[in-house]
Copies of this chain bind each other. A is one copy, B any other.
Amino acid sequence: MSQKLNPVVWNKIVFDSGFWKSRQETNRTVTLPAEYNQLKVTGRIESLKLQWKPGMPHKPHHYWDSDAAKWIEASAYSLGNTPDAKLEAMVDEVIELIAASQQSDGYLNTYYSSVEPGKRWTNVHVMHELYCAGHLLEAAVAYFEAVGKRRLLDVMIRYADHIDSVFGPEPGKIRGYPGHEELELALVKLYRATNEKRFLNLAEYFVNERGKQPYFFEKETLARGDDPAKNAHREVLNRDYLAEGAYALYQSHVPVREQKTAVGHAVRAMYLYTGMTDIGIEAGDESLVEACKTLWQNVTRRRMSVTGGIGPLEGCERFTFDYDLPNETAYNETCASIGLIFWAHRMLQADLNGDYGDVIEQTLYNGVLSGVSLTGDTFFYANHLEVEPGLYTNRVNRNVRMLPRRQSWFEVSCCPPNLARLVASLGGYLYTTSDAGVQVHLYAQSKGVFSIKEVETTIRQETNYPWDGSVRIVVSPAAPTAFDFTFRIPSWSKQASIKVNGSAVSVSVVKGYATINRVWTANDTVEIDFRMLPYLVEAHPSVRFDCGKAALMRGPVVYCLEETDNGKNLWDVVLAADSKFASSYEPSLLGGVVSLTSEAKSRDLSEWTDALYRPVGSGYRKREIKAIPYYTWSNRDPGEMLVWMRLGL
């Protein structure tokens, strides 16, 4: 690795006004209380008391601990940003329930401690014990770092030590690894928080053991007396539908360094790759980072929607094959896009390449933010890129995750608290530092105070990003200091202009980053204008769903048409490739967005009295269209929605 970059942690950055201030405020005042309420009413909090007995309502599910954990983690970041005694008391109460549920040997899992006592570690393949452990660990680290309380951290260190005593290559231990990856990256966080190398070692073991033959999941299934070809508990997950071979759904078909394409369950894949990159960085294992670079190319060049959505298939929430990026049936789980941001953030630390930052903002402002309503209390699990509402009322299996309206909660409700923790911790994605100086990855109105070359420095960003491509950055080290000020030039910005203290400077761009090296003194100012203009993008010709179509973008924001602005039959809207779009900031529209308008054409319905098919005609009429940011769709009247619009004529 050429250069080790250290992320500036979230609590060094304050969004003091602007876009993210408002999103964090909604997250804190609406989303977190709403999610707590759902944890309550669905029995997830109560389940931590381990009082459930057969016949009682709210039988604990094997993934419930992770929902509470992610809510704690999100609350932790929020408390770090904005102290809130009431929220802190709620968190402490939940933490006490968790602490009290810990078994005498350190084991901690609601499901196995109350529903199937005695069966722990018998179905690591499917039952999410290690996944829940990972989320609880992340929560423990975050809460300790946010408010300084060790209670959950100590509990989780005991549990991590217990896991370490159960899993490993040594005789008498289970030679296994998680069915749903997550613990790997969490152990790295624990290692960083405690500096205890054994946690990093355990993470390395899990990653290196994965995919070896004979397969652990198969051995484990046989040990239970079950048939590996049929897992009665979750049959669908156990079947092997993947061309890549057995257990590809879990990224355990071959050892991780031999994996060249992103396969299987998309969230699992993202958490694995994130952990692999973390371990590669911390353990100095170049081979893991190289494996991730190969996988990165596959994900972002072959298997990612323009919104940063990944995992196109509802069935098993997974990757399929190159260029298979459906719009109407896109699954694009919110959690998978969040995981993609986690991973990109780690890749950035291993390899300063604008590609990672580009994908972070492309995913953040589109496929992630679409996951939560503007009011903060309803959520998308799947993020379609086009919607004909009739499709959903006519589905046979009405999976609520696929509905084209955001929901208050889901039976499997991983996405809502995942969103909350990303929004609350977003400050941590803006900067890294290195021996050379500071690197700016994301642009957002904010104030950061952190050390650059051991000198405390305030970096203030003044911008209306993502609605305006002008960013004024005031750099104020406590004392004059020479360092590299390195900042990302987004790939969508074709003519960025840069000034330092009012004077235009010319900088060369290396792998998507520009660098200004000088002695920085208080109130030095870097002004960047990325020239944020609307533009149309096309997809690779192999993406069959997008041939002859274009997506409209402005900066990192993907736009869409919604029926409420444009009427029905959005698929019949045709744009010229050189269409001009007018940008207009509308403060009262959808929480304040830039909308885009243009002239387009549609066929004249008056010519279609009663025919279903007719010889090709030319009956097009001019019409206006109005596009809104994709992430804001479905906040008004229900109806059609379309991202990829027809080009032509």
Contacts and interface: CB of A to CB of B under 8 A. Distances in A.
A143 B217 CA distance: 58
Interface string A555-577: 00000000000001111101001
A301 B615 contact: no
Residue of A537, A568, A617 with most partner-chain B CB within 10 A: A537
A548 to B, nearest CB: 4
How many identical subunits does the complex contain? 2
Interface string A384-415: 00001011011111100000000000000000
Contact of A603 (B393, B536, B541, B614): B541
Nearest to A536: B616
Contacts of A242: 394
Interface in A603-649: 603, 605, 608, 610-618, 646-649
B551 A572 contact: no
Contacts of A544: 388, 569-572
A585 interface: no
A584 to B, nearest CB: 22
Given A571-B544, A608-B540, A648-B649, A321 B241 contact: no
Nearest to A325: B612
Contact of A539 (B297, B390, B613): B613
Given A538-B614, A577-B616, A313 B548 contact: no
A128 B539 CA distance: 49
A316 interface: yes
Contact of A613 (B306, B542, B605, B615): B306
A445 interface: no
A547 interface: yes
B615 A536 contact: yes
Contacts of A391: 320, 324
A538 B613 contact: yes
A541 B315 CA distance: 31
A394 B244 CA distance: 10
12 contacts: A241-B395, A241-B398, A243-B393, A313-B396, A321-B390, A535-B616, A538-B615, A541-B608, A542-B569, A543-B612, A548-B572, A548-B646
- Of all A-B residue pairs in the complex, the 6 with the closest CB atoms, nearest first, are A315-B396, A648-B648, A544-B571, A547-B571, A541-B572, A320-B394
Given A315-B396, A544-B572, A577-B618, 20 more contacts: A241-B394, A241-B398, A297-B610, A302-B612, A304-B612, A313-B394, A320-B390, A321-B390, A321-B393, A388-B544, A536-B615, A537-B615, A537-B616, A540-B611, A541-B569, A542-B568, A542-B572, A544-B569, A548-B572, A577-B616
